[in-house]
Amino acid sequence: MTINNEELIIKISFFKMNQLNKTNVHWLGNTLKFGVCLLPFSATFGATALGFVLIGLWQQKYKKIVQNPINWGWGLLFLWLILTSLFAVHSRYSWEGLGNFLPSFLMVASFPLFFKNFRRLYQLAWWLVLTSIPVCFLGFMQLFAGWETPLFLHRIGIKMIAYGHPDGRMSSLLMYANTLAFFLVVAFTLSIGLWILHYRRHHLIKNGQINGQLFILTVGILFNGIGLILTNSRSAWGLAVLSLMAFAIYLRWYWIIFSVLLVIFLVIWAAWIPVYQDVMREIVPSYFWARLTDELYDDRYVTALRTTQWGVAWNMMLQRPLWGWGLRNFTPVYQEAMNVWMGHPHNLFLMFLAETGIIGTLLFSGLVGIILGQAVILMTRIYQELTELEEGKKENNFSEQEESFLLLFTYLVAFGLCIIFNLLDVSIFDLRVNLMGWLLLSAIAGISYNFKPLLFSQHKSSL
> What are the tens digits of pLDDT across the range 272-325?
888 878 888 888 887 787 777 766 665 567 777 888 999 999 999 999 999 999
457 by Cβ neighbours in 10 Å (0-12 / 13-18 / 19+) ranks as exposed
Short-list 49, 17, 9, CA closest to 33 = 49
> What are the tens digits of pLDDT across the range 117-167?
999 999 999 999 999 999 999 999 999 999 999 988 888 888 999 999 999
What is the structure's pLDDT at 391?
62
Q: What is the 8-class DSSP label of residue 88?
A: -
Residue 45 lies in a domain: no
What is the structure's pLDDT at 207?
60
Residue 50 lies in a domain: no
Q: Which domain range does residue 352 map to?
A: 68-455
Q: Count structural domains, the chain.
A: 1
Residue 249 lies in a domain: yes
Residue 402 lies in a domain: yes
Average pLDDT over residues 414-418: 97
Residue 392 lies in a domain: yes
**What is the enclosing helix (H) or strand (E) of 320?**
none
State yes or no: cis peptide before 103, omega within 30 of 0: no
pTM exceeds 0.95 for this model: no
> What are the tens digits of pLDDT across the range 174-203?
989 999 999 999 999 999 999 999 988 766
The mean predicted confidence, pLDDT, of the chain is 88
Confidence of residue 17 (pLDDT cuts 50, 70, 90): very low
- Is pLDDT at 396 greater than 50 in this prediction? yes
Confidence of residue 206 (pLDDT cuts 50, 70, 90): low
Looking at per-residue pLDDT, the higher value among 188 and 451 belongs to 188
Residue 102 lies in a domain: yes
Q: Sign of dihedral through CA atoms 197, 184, 48, 68?
A: positive
> What are the tens digits of pLDDT across the range 322-366?
999 999 999 999 999 999 999 999 999 999 999 999 999 999 999
Residue 356 lies in a domain: yes
What is the structure's pLDDT at 454?
64
Average pLDDT over residues 38-50: 94
Give the distance from CA 6 to its chain's centroid: 51
Rounded Cα–Cα distance for residues 300 and 305 (Å): 8
Residue 261 lies in a domain: yes
